[in-house]
Amino acid sequence: MTLRKTLIVWLILTAAHLSAQDRLRPITVNLIAEPRTVQILPGDSTSVWSYTGSSEGGGRQSLGFLPNSHLGPTISAMQGQQIKIKLTNQLDQPTVTHWHGLDVPADMDGHPAYAFPTGESYSYSFTISNRAGTYWYHPHPDMATADQVQMGLAGFFIVHDRNELALNLPSGAADLPLCIQDRTFDSANQFVFNPSMMHGFFGSLVCVNGQPNYVQNVGSRVHRLRLLNGSTSRIYKLAFSDGTPMVIIGNDGGLLATPNTKPYLMLSPGERAEVWADFRGKPLNSEIILQSLSFSGAGMNQGAALDVMTFKIVQQVTDNRSLPANLSSIPAYNLWEAVNASNPKSYPITQANGHYVINGASFSMEYVANNEVARCGTLEVISVSNPQGMMHIAHPIHFHGRQFQILDRTVVPSSVANWNTVKDGYNDSGWKDTFMLMPGETVRILVRHGKNPGLFNYHCHNLVHEDMGMMRNFRLNP
Ligand SMILES: [Cu+2]
């Protein structure tokens, strides 16, 4: 066979194989939320709650498993692929699952109204419209989200698309989903969850994919790190111990337009970032620590310097890849295009009845205020402000079902000194579904509302705050 014929046959076979078989065949996943016992620390085993799962169809790699982890299986899918997920509740309390960052119909989104009891199942079914990115899933029942996530219920949901695959970014063992969570263990190796109502929960050990003192063995090549802050309350200021800057290629909604190099990366609960970690030239057996640096003014217990995990170079390999100059296409929204450009929706963070609230009142299952209604498909500007003052702390704010753009950040003069300890790590370009808000700071976002009508949540992703009522409904009308 001539080279030309060989190439044509190869192209036909590859296209048929990827598009028809692996890429767009519907995926069926069975997930069970259940108690398990796992070995995390030496000695006694630890009782956790886990998503366990199995899959049918959708190619070989629709479900992956993080090594030695009690976190949920990693669901992988292509943009445009249909997925059915049957979730069975074997916990001793109601649960419901939210597909964080994905644009799905209201009854598929994990609104607390859809929580279902022990022994029952809920069938999720949706087509993945999101672009390639690092999304995740976790429980979302009213007043019990923090408990359930803290017990171990969380997993990655990774979406691929053709543009992203064509970039040939590091894959396989060089594509590393890393979920950062802090935990406290008692003397019998059981989880301790003792949050403060105002500040949240701060564990004494940082875990990655469920394990403390996490060491990731790597070759001396480029890795794609998919960092997820799955912690209940703790904010991280991530940096490499050898001073290598953070080369950020993605955030909540997938790849940025172009790589963004920062001295450190702020990651508040719920946020994700993808980092181009270049370990080429590192000597064999050398170690690079992913640290969280100190910062100030975000609240009691926030901002302590600590080590998150270690990368250990265990193999010398040749890697000739180069960082793409252009990663993806992101059309910029403009303020003047917003239907409410001259009258932004304004959601201040305040306190009521001894806890934090957003837009003036605590969560109530069905209630929607006048300024929490919009029409599907419209572009709006929304302003979220965190007044400076006594007991004002940083909050991560998440809007369900949509990816938006950060229009701007402003900060009052008295908060600038603290703000300066975090501002260079905000990863604000591209698509976001969660953003961090320091005391004294106001963030304006431009959001194109989705096509799915119904009730969606927006809330603080400090899960203790969310459970205390720092959550609201937003209604999309057709
Ligand atoms: Cu909060």
Distance from residue 437's CA to the centre of ligand 1 (Å) = 9
Q: Do 185 and 298 belong to one domain? A: yes
- How far does the centroid of ligand 1 lie from the alpha carbon of residue 442, in Å? 14
How many A from CA of 457 to the centre of ligand 1?
Answer: 14
pLDDT, residue 14, reads: 42
CA of 460 to the centre of ligand 1 (A): 4
Instruction: Give yes or no: residues 254 and 289 share one domain.
Output: yes
Q: According to the model, what pLDDT value does residue 144 have?
A: 97
Q: Give the distance (Å) from ligand 1 centre to CA of residue 444.
A: 17
User: For residue 464, is it within any domain?
Assistant: yes
Same domain assignment for residues 206 and 86: no
Q: What residues of the chain score a pLDDT lower than 70? A: 1-23, 57-61
In this prediction, residue 428 carries a pLDDT of 97
Is residue 11 assigned to a domain?
no
pLDDT of residue 395: 98
Q: Which of 284, 315, 346 is the last residue of a domain?
A: 315
Kindly state the tokens that stand for 234. Answer: 């703790």
**Chosen domain end from 256, 283, 315:** 315
* Shared domain check, 252 and 370: no
Task: Clarify whether residues 49 and 106 are in a common domain.
Answer: yes
What's residue 192's pLDDT? 98
Q: What is the pLDDT of residue 57?
A: 65
Alpha carbon of 45 to ligand 1 centroid (Å)? 33
Query: Which residues span the domain enclosing 192?
Result: 172-315
**Residue 41 domain flag:** yes
pLDDT digits (tens, 9 = 90+) for 296-324: 999 999 999 999 999 999 999 999 999 99
Q: What is the pLDDT of residue 102?
A: 98
Q: What is the pLDDT, as a whole number, of residue 59?
A: 56
Asked whether residue 356 falls in the same domain as residue 444, the answer is yes
Mean pLDDT over all residues of the chain? 94
Residue 320 lies in a domain: no
pLDDT tens sequence across 209-267: 999 999 999 999 999 999 999 999 999 999 999 999 999 999 999 999 999 999 999 99
Give the residue from 64, 234, 271, 89 showing the smallest Cα distance to 160. 64
Q: Is residue 3 part of a domain?
A: no
Q: Are residues 118 and 237 in the same domain?
A: no
The residue from 114, 142, 166 where one domain ends is: 166
The answer to whether residue 330 is domain-embedded is no
In a domain, residue 325? The reply is no
Same domain, 380 and 431: yes
Q: Are residues 366 and 309 in the same domain?
A: no
Q: What is the pTM of this model?
A: 0.94
Same domain, 397 and 364: yes
Domain match, 178 and 308 both: yes
Q: Residue 17 domain-assigned? A: no
pLDDT the model gives residue 234:
98
Count of structural domains, the chain? 3
Cα of 322 from ligand 1 centre, angstroms: 40
Same domain, 377 and 393: yes
CATH number at residue 158: 2.60.40.420
pLDDT for the residue 10: 44
